Amino acid sequence: MRDKRRWIEWGKDALIVLLTLSAVYLLSMTPLIRDSGLLDLLHPKPTGARSPSSVVHTGTVLPARMAVYRTGGRFGLQYDEHQMEESFSALGPLLGDALSSAGQPIPLSESGWQAYLQDTSAYFDFSGDIPLTALCGWLGGAGECPLAGSARRLALAAGEDDQVLLCWQDSDTGAFYSCSTALSRTLHLDLAAAGVTENGAYFAFEDPSLSQLLDPYTLITEVGTAGQRYSVTAPLSTAAGTQALLESLSFNTQNHVSGSGGEVYLDGGDRLVVSDSGTVTYRAAQGEKYPVGVPAAPVTALQAADGARSLAAQSMGPLCGEARLYLISALPHADGWLVRFGYRLNGSAVYLYDEGWAAQFLIQDGYITQFTLHLRCYTAEQGNTLLLPIDKAAAMLPDLIRDRRELVVQYRDRGGPAVSPDWVAN
């Protein structure tokens, strides 16, 4: 009897403890406790500067243009970022999984590449040359990508025996490659293609007249003949903008002196120069403020692109308005890496000043040692700019006939108060 009573008492005690823990958990979920900061005391934040790689990106990577072919026709999309986010949300993970499960690459003829684009396929053009390992990681691939090199254009194509092939054009050589993947045509590619509606899009190589004028992979869509205009401001012309930038780069707002090129902010021997025009330059003395990769190990293309992208996102992302940063290139340079980013407005690239790019990062010995940022803030205006249809625009640019260049809608920002879209031959 005594043992039975003891077990009953223990059961009561256990129930009280369980109910108490449940009450504490439910209390912690209330806005009063969540917003009070008490939970931060239980989970203290690490001190010191953050590695750029630890910062969450401000947005997922998006292609500038996309095309999906299935029996009956092709769906093509460009110059519409909102719809691109919706359409790519289903296809992006498939591309990431294809990259992470890629087999041994084999050379692919250009005619073979074009044949794949005219069968069940999903085509992606990122407008910049992205390391395949970085693209795999940014798209949430299930593992590390075994492929080397960079690519702007990639495709998932139907292969034999229910296979899905990964095809791409190498950025350095222009050569085409394909490889097997773990994806199934029936379970993955066919289902993704079935979710889109044909809209008459086609490539220049499929049109006898345009193929004589344009780059073969210029995508022609029935896009409207009006483009959005944007007003442009310098976000660093205000004290709030400058303070937000300095905090994002872990510089003390009080430790600065005036120089000929602007305000010079100091952190030990590191110098950050902020000009009124919105250009920011950084030069490291010891080179340890912005670590990239693993200490004492060579920096890979993935680490270089990811580290630079994170620092660009945390410093420029909140200040650029309706623009989106995209990777232009990540190239070996001076025993390190040179990584460049540009702005895009609703899927169209912004060619900024004389260089074209918005940010440039130099990575050496595992750290970002130099960078230049051009801070511009873009806001959509009322009204649009009328644009010619692409076939008429191509006919009015005779230089295209000689070079067969790509015709795209682009913004040119020379530092003025507004930008408008126009057809540009790249």
Q: 283: which 2 tokens?
A: 């030069």
What does the pLDDT read at residue 27? 38
Cα separation values, 28 from 22, 33, 192, 229, 399, Å: 10, 6, 41, 47, 66
| Per-residue pLDDT at 49 | 36
**160 secondary structure, DSSP code:** S
Bridge partners of 219, per DSSP, are 203
Q: How far apart are CA 321 and CA 58, in angstroms?
A: 12
Smallest CA-to-CA distance from 221 within 198, 205, 202 is with: 202
Instruction: Say which residues have a Cβ less than 8 Å from residue 84's Cβ, sequence separation at least 6.
Output: 62, 63, 66, 77, 78, 347
Q: Report pLDDT for 400.
A: 62
Question: What is the pLDDT, as a whole number, of residue 100?
Answer: 96
The whole-number pLDDT of residue 393 equals: 82
Q: What is the pLDDT along the chain (426 residues), one digit of tens a residue?
A: 444 444 445 444 544 444 444 443 333 433 333 333 333 323 333 333 333 333 333 356 999 999 999 987 999 999 999 999 999 998 999 999 999 999 999 999 999 999 999 999 999 999 999 999 999 999 988 888 999 999 999 999 999 999 999 999 999 999 999 999 999 999 999 998 888 899 999 999 999 988 888 899 999 987 556 689 999 999 998 899 999 999 999 998 887 788 777 899 999 889 999 987 889 999 998 778 999 988 878 999 999 999 999 999 999 999 999 999 999 999 999 889 999 999 999 999 999 999 999 999 999 989 999 999 999 999 999 888 888 888 788 777 766 656 778 889 999 999 999 999 999 888
* pLDDT at site 409: 93
> According to the model, what pLDDT value does residue 13 have?
53
pLDDT at 357: 97
Q: For residue 103, what pLDDT is reported?
A: 97
What's the residue count for the chain? 426
